[in-house]
Structure 1
């Protein structure tokens, strides 16, 4: 590349390619998460999860991609409208190829003509570009589990069992994580 114009053009093309490439892991994940919460998920949207990923919110606890699919595919069955309407993202590198993403957001739902807005903190633990743990903290409050609450063992076991039971019922009703036909 002796020609200065060719060198300049090559540098410009490299800069253009860098400008197009997302710089943060969250840039790659957010379009899919917006589809999930917006009840317009496709099978490809779930490729952001590692095979053994978990999803937790105050109502249910899903283990594996098929249960996560059931949890999100059920949104359109429960709500006539669902979406994330506002959000701010904070991304922290934890270790090489490990990232924690915090998404402070406002979720909007509509059910039986009534509108409901939920303030939420979505916490994502990501390894090698795949979500391994997805938590949705409603009102920014940590989920109640063995790590966060000092409840009597029996009450805690009941709470966790009811969240798992809710997930299993939803999973069965949603066809065990099968993708809907296009």
Structure 2
């Protein structure tokens, strides 16, 4: 790890896999070819000092702490169709999630969005990724994950390039965007015709509500 003016760079060696606004502070990582295991963690055991019992606020957060280290393993589980209830604890209660098909508001709807993956695909996971973490004003963070996702649908292998953008406040994700093929999400602000953008927004909301109902309104799977 090289330190220079608060810039950190980390590289993770390749592993086997199945085919398939900003500030002067930045943290970047890279990793390629993840295995099918759902979660990758780094042990910080007893060397990590005890935290104070009070709630950690934006002012308390160490500007050099890599928030993505804590969040990334859960993101890998979500996209790997093996999410557990604890994986959704990374989100603030009123967090939002958007991709080209869905627009979810609140943790329960986000649960429905990701729990539905295993209903549609026989396999899914992030197989390659690069991470950049930026410090925003007021202690917020932006985590950008440039990645490749793998899906198997009706026996066919599907590889998709994606750009996942996570906005974090007080250690919790408040907004999660997934840009397929790295293209910004269409809405009234990004569309050349605002009316078309609104229609697309409504369609994505309708798709989310239908999925939410199908997934029993974000109910966690039982053993």
Q: 79, 94, 101: which is aligned to 1:52?
A: 94
Q: Aligned runs of 1:5-84 on 2, under 5 Å?
A: 16-17=47-48, 23-84=65-126
Distance 2:85 2:174 in 1: 17
Distance 1:119 1:69 in 2: 23
Distance 2:48 2:218 in 1: 37
Alpha-carbon contact 2:190-2:197 (below 8 Å) kept = no
Distance 2:128 2:181 in 1: 14
How far apart are 1:152 and its partner, in Å?
4.2
RMSD of equivalent CA atoms: 1.6
Counterpart of 2:178 in structure 1 is 136
Alpha-carbon contact 1:108-1:117 (below 8 Å) kept = yes
Alpha-carbon contact 1:124-1:134 (below 8 Å) kept = yes
What TM-score results when the alignment is normalised by the length of structure 2?
0.71
Counterpart secondary structure, 1:72? helix
Alpha-carbon contact 1:108-1:116 (below 8 Å) kept = yes
Q: 162, 174, 181: which is aligned to 2:215?
A: 174
Counterpart of 2:202 in structure 1 is 161
Distance 1:58 1:104 in 2: 17
How far apart are 1:53 and its partner, in Å?
0.4
Counterpart secondary structure, 2:136? strand
Q: Say how many residue pairs are matched.
A: 164
Q: Larger C-alpha radius of gyration, 1 or 2?
A: 1
